[in-house]
Structure 1
């Protein structure tokens, strides 16, 4: 691979990012769960009050993955980066692009002086679990996800 670049996402990346969100949903066996519109997605990241930020990884100018995050507040720990999605295209998995993005997120935590980074991983997603183990990630037990 040549011409690999990590950069902050820009508004024009949103259609491609949403394509990759849909690809991730297929992989996670939940394609019907993606209901966000491109307009809402774009406004949420690049409108007057953004609620998410992202880094993209490009190969030869094409976005092949991204890491999207927002700021979570913990009354115990303070501001923390919450990694919502780390996605690499099927074709590019296993080539080190995920590590480049994850390393950039760690750098962002330091630059912004966040107290840490948190995320979720599906218990059956062994490749992702093994990826995070390389970073000595702590896997919490006893928490149950809730949503309404």
Structure 2
């Protein structure tokens, strides 16, 4: 799979079972941002049982190359059973290997009879202290490459929805102005396919 990637600025990788506490913390931060924290009943146990995690030959994610063109390096051999996968983004370490996870995308398969198999983004967040640094754009690019993996005959679509409330203006601006999503009455609805999907995948 194409997701593991490291550049001089960021590292993107699949979430493993040991990342579940971090995944839960970011999901709760997102729920709080969306003013729905009381409705977020997610637990670590539920995430462990329902997310799909990568399996590597040595049971650990291998070192990643500092090269955006080597996106297929350090591949997982397979995934555990689960309903969704998660990508994590961190700043690339400069002086130590201890770096925070500052972003998350949870996604699952989608299907359209017009565009074929694709991916739906269920949740995506960049923690507040690290926004406007290109990490969200990099995460979207990685998700577009995930679509290319499951696409059929050049078809495929990346889709998502974002709340259109005034307090969510920063997120709306990101998806509309940076990614090109469309706004409807209640949501910012994003659908990227065809040449736009290829372009997004190549942004890095």
**What's the TM-score once normalised by structure 2's chain length?**
0.63
In the alignment, structure 1 residue 53 sits paired with structure 2 residue 53: no
Q: CA deviation at 1:36?
A: 1.7
Gaps of 5+ in 1: 144-148
Spell out, residue by residue over 1:44-89, the C-alpha distance to the aligned partner (whole angstroms, 9 max, x if none): 1137521101111012432111111001223444322000111111
Equivalent residues of 2:118, 2:150 under 8 A apart: no
**Higher alpha-carbon deviation: 99-108 or 126-135:** 126-135
Task: Give the one of 182, 185, 189 matched to 1:138.
Answer: 182
Number of equivalent positions: 142
The match for 1:20 is 26
The alignment's C-alpha RMSD in Å is 2.1
Gaps of 5+ in 2: 1-7, 54-79, 94-98, 188-204
Aligned counterparts, 1:1-148, within 5 A: 4-46=10-52, 48-59=80-91, 60=93, 61-113=99-151, 115-124=156-165, 125-133=168-176, 134-140=178-184
In structure 1, distance between residues paired with 2:23 and 2:132: 19
In structure 2, distance between residues paired with 1:98 and 1:92: 9
- Greater Rg by CA: 2
